[in-house]
Amino acid sequence: MQKRTAAVNNITANSIGFSSIFNIGDTAATNQKSRAIAVQQQGAVFHKAEEPQFDDYSLFKRRANWPKQASRATSATFHHSDVIHVNQVSLIGVSSSSVLQVGSINKIVTESRIKHFRKFRA
């Protein structure tokens, strides 16, 4: 990968979290994984004994069902400048195994698994 310089004037980010990356510059490889259990419960009382665990749900035990890779295509990239110029970026958030990248990434693998459910009183 050709090395380049990133010239960034201004980036405003409100929130970056949960296995996410904000990177200025080129990256050889990145691999983010995020697991979460989101419970929306009627009332505001949560008890430690009732907290769900990742082992309680098969979603977190299963192997990822990645799409089959298509046949390889030959490609070539020509960088017309050794400098990446970015004037301004404004974003609300980057979350759950996401990447905000100013530059190139040679290899990226991201995975996010979220079990979300609601509990209502009968």
Domains of the chain by residue range? 5-63+81-119
Amino acid at 73: A
| Of the candidates 108, 118, 80, the residue with the CA atom closest to the CA atom of residue 20 | 108
> Are the CB atoms for 13 and 93 separated by under 8 Å?
yes
pLDDT digits (tens, 9 = 90+) for 15-28: 998 888 899 888 88
pLDDT digits (tens, 9 = 90+) for 78-97: 778 888 899 999 999 888 88
> What's the pTM?
0.67
Tell me if residue 75 falls in helix, strand or coil: coil
Query: Token pair 């009732």 is at which residue?
Result: 50
Residue 76 pLDDT grade (very low, low, confident, very high; cuts 50, 70, 90): confident
Q: Which residues contact 105 (CB under 8 A, 6 or more apart)?
A: 26, 27, 29, 30, 99
